[in-house]
Chain A
Amino acid sequence: MSDMTETALRTFTPQPALAPPKELKGAVHWARANLFDGGLNTVLTLLSLLLIVSVVPGLVRWGLLDAVWQGDSEACRVEGVGACWSFIGANFRILMVGIYPVEEIWRPVLSFLLLLGVIWLTVSRRVRGIRMVAFWLVLPFIAYWLIGGGYLGLPEVDQSRWGGLMLSLLLAAVGIIVSVPLGILLALGRFSDSPVIKISCVSFIETIRGVPLITILFMASVMLPLFLPEGMDVNNLLRIQIGMILFSSAYMAEVVRGGLQAVPRGQTEAAKALGLPYRHIMFYVVIPQALRHVLPPLIGRCIALFKDTSLVLIVGLLDFLGMLKSSTQDSEWLGFEAESYVFGAFVYWLVCYSMSRYGQHLESAGPKNNH
């Protein structure tokens, strides 16, 4: 018996594997499995195709094929042309930096290059940990000094001349960098055993979260001057920046709270058993773990804050959206609203989508739940 098996094994030569059945591979099979799988799916696919065919060619023709890329407004008014992208070209400086003085334009450009540099260093993981945080903390101050000037030999540029995408990015960057630590403090305050601190923090967070940002901005722009002592004047931009920071920090606090609650109790108990004082327990044990847990929603809040900067247009600052809007009222370029807002949507989308993709990347590369 065993001899027979051995000989059988020795003489056995496997046949070459058969190719998979034809109908299980290739484009036709894929289409059948994913697009025409049953009656309902076939109908849905056909409806979707109909929608695509009726919308996409027209959009491509308008936005790319028939679009005007160069020339003045006359070239765009010819019958039958598509999008007038030369409108964006003509207003590009205004859209990016507002009415910033032309001869000083290198300053926002340099700030922007610094921003790109720090982003590159972060995403490529060339700087990490505390050094990365330091880079991000220092960057807005350098950008603020470069753009605003007034110190160390740079001539001052008044804040009423700041605008465009530069202003949006600056509002968002300063907002994020100040509101994250503030949010952490508020979240810790929520867990404080002191009733005074606890109640103040909870009522602050819940009040802010209960009202729209626009009322906070109105408050910052209209009411804040009433609150301050006479003669003390804070300019409009700073007031609105403070409003945005207060608003954002309440939401950051809620995000951080989730992270604090996710840190297992054994961690704090172990730290206590080691005899660490409260601030060390918080700063070396609890907060780092909490922040790692909530990185994705934290990035979500950063995206939301960047989108929210568009609201400052309502209280009279000319941010990117404000500039998009006012550029359509340029007497030479009347009637190109579609181009203006499509371009604006694309820029906002590019920034927000990249941030959210980076957040997803961190989420998949980040710490796994190991408890």
Chain B
Amino acid sequence: MLNKLTASAGSSRFRLDLVLQAVFLALIFYLAYSVFHNTQVNLENRGIESGFEFLDKEAGLPIGDALISYTPTDSYGWAFFTAVVNTLYVAFFAIILATVVGVMIGIARVSRNWLVCRMAAIYVETLRNVPLLLTLIFIYVVVLSSLPGARSSWLLTEGILLNIRGFYFPKPLPQDGFGLVLFSVALAVVLCWGFRRWAKRYTERTGQELASFRISLVLLLGLPALTYLLTGQPLLWENPELKGFNYRGGLSLRPEFLALLLGLVLYTAAFIGENVRSGIQSVAKGQIEAAQALGLKPGKVMMRVILPQALRVIIPATTNDYTSLVKNSSLAVAIGYPDMVSVGGTIIGQNGQAIEIIGMWMAVYMAINLLISAFMNWLNARVQMVER
């Protein structure tokens, strides 16, 4: 609507506008040229190479916590890619966990239980008003380093334990026939999807509700479990064991990863909780009362009446929080988790090719954020009201 305004306001000064635009364009080009020129001169003076040839050179930098196989003799390009995978890894799990915690916080915020509601409010107001960087450093320096040493680890159950070196848990070792179990999982998902489609049409045709949630649960858990038993339990677990001063075997998460994950989850959950709260509160009270008057049970009221309407408010706001979570994962550099920014910073320190590295950072972050936005827009389009 403002376009219209400026268009007609400018029509009387059409020629002046053209001149101004040309001047502006010339200014931008001049600026771009001088930046380019200065950079060329400066790089030459400092003896810094330019271009992406360095990506093939041997990196020689250690990455403490690589998800994919990496050794210091690999190239810079591979080192950077390893770091990108690390960023994606932590962001992926942080988004899932933050959503779970955030939804719980949001529901607690609208709870009729005074104590639960207050505690959630205190959580949100504390976490939101303290910089994430401080929270991260606090978790890393104070909380995780007060954990016991390897010999006096906290054993949660057999094989799952927590100590100052990280979180240890058993490693699954698939045996012969495990492929069948995986196949049955896939089969169960497909069957479940088909069943739900059929159940929906059945309900629309007859007005009868099936216990589709329970049936899908049985399908999803039962079929793989049955296959697992029939194929003779083809999965062994390798427990971490204390050898000398440290635990060996099993799988482990290092404290840097744990601190980053925990910090991102706790911080983002406070924001998602607020989205969920405002989403639920945006549903008109009459809707809930009408649903209750129809005799729907509380669970049904939530699933069928409140949530579908609340999601329209929740999803767009949460999309922003997901993208900020990905961007915030760059704070890993402060606690030494080898993410993209941390490894890239080391590369800049080694060869000074800041422009290339910063360009790569920007490209990767923008690509991740575009993907998240595209997915969330797709989700959002599905929950929007169908206007008749």
Given A191-B2, A341-B142, A48 and B365 contact (CB-CB distance below 8 Å):
no
Taking each of A195, A222, A308, which has the highest tally of chain B beta carbons within 10 Å of its own beta carbon?
Answer: A222
Whether B116 pairs with A353 at a CB distance below 8 angstroms is no
Check B132–A272 contact: CB distance below 8 A. Answer: no
Contacts of B308 in A (CB 8 A): none
Task: Provide the residues of chain B in CB contact with A52, threshold 8 Å.
Answer: 119
Q: Interface size class for chain A?
A: 35 or more
Residues of the B chain whose Cβ atoms lie less than 8 Å from the Cβ of A230: 38, 41-42, 45
By a CB distance below 8 angstroms, the chain B residues around A265 are 1
Which of A20-28, A59-67, A212-220 forms part of the interface with chain B? A212-220
**Count of A-B contacts judged by CB separation below 8 Å:** 179
B98 beta carbon closer than 8 Å to chain A: no
Partner of A48, one of B38, B115, B354: B115
Q: How far is the CB of B340 from chain A (nearest CB, A)?
A: 9
Question: Which of the candidate stretches B158-166, B355-363, B379-387 sits at the interface with the other chain?
Answer: B355-363
Q: Which residue in A193, A214, A356 is a CB contact (below 8 Å) of B10?
A: A193
Are B38 and A226 neighbours in the complex by a CB distance under 8 Å? yes
Report the separation of the CA atoms of residues A260 and B357 in the bound assembly, to the nearest whole angstrom: 37
Distance of A178 from chain B, by nearest CB (Å): 19
Query: Residues of B contacting A218 with CB < 8 Å?
Result: 341, 345, 348, 354, 358
- Taking CB as reference atom, which chain B residue is nearest A339? B142
The interface residues of chain B lying within 8 Å CB-to-CB of A281 are 5, 9
- The 8 Å CB contact of B330, one of A51, A193, A212, is A212
- Please give, as numbers and ranges, the residues of chain B lying within 8 Å of A353 by CB-CB distance: 125, 129
Q: Chain B 170-181, CB within 8 Å of chain A: the 1/0 string?
A: 000000000000
Query: How distant is B87 from chain A, measured CB to nearest CB, in Å?
Result: 10
A310 and B133 in contact, given A35-B113, A211-B361 (Cβ under 8 angstroms): yes
Bound CA span A281–B21, Å: 21
In the assembled complex, B138 has its CB within 8 A of some CB on chain A: yes
Number of interface residues of B (CB under 8 A): 62
Q: How far is the CB of A206 from chain B (nearest CB, A)?
A: 8
B161 CB → nearest A CB, Å: 21
A37→B28 CA distance, assembly (Å): 66
- Residues of chain A within 8 A (CB-CB) of B38 are 226-230
Bound together, the chains give a CA A155 to CA B23 distance in angstroms of 43
Closest to A190 in B: B2
A256-292 vs B, CB cutoff 8 Å, 1 = contact: the mask equals: 0000110001001100100001100100001000000
- The complex places the Cα of A81 from the Cα of B357 at a distance, in Å, of 49
B17: CB under 8 A from chain A? yes
Could you tell me which B residues sit within 8 Å of A by CB distance? 1-3, 5-10, 17, 20-21, 24-25, 28, 34-35, 38-39, 41-43, 45, 111-116, 119, 125-126, 128-135, 137-138, 141-142, 327-328, 330-331, 333-334, 341, 345, 348, 354-355, 358, 361-362, 365-366, 369-370
Q: A227-B38, A349-B126 are in contact. List 12 more A-B contacts (CB 8 A).
A: A191-B2, A191-B6, A194-B20, A200-B28, A210-B362, A210-B369, A226-B38, A268-B5, A281-B5, A313-B334, A337-B141, A348-B129
13 CB-based A-B contacts, threshold 8 Å = A45-B113, A193-B7, A207-B362, A212-B327, A219-B354, A222-B348, A229-B38, A260-B2, A311-B133, A341-B142, A342-B138, A349-B130, A356-B128
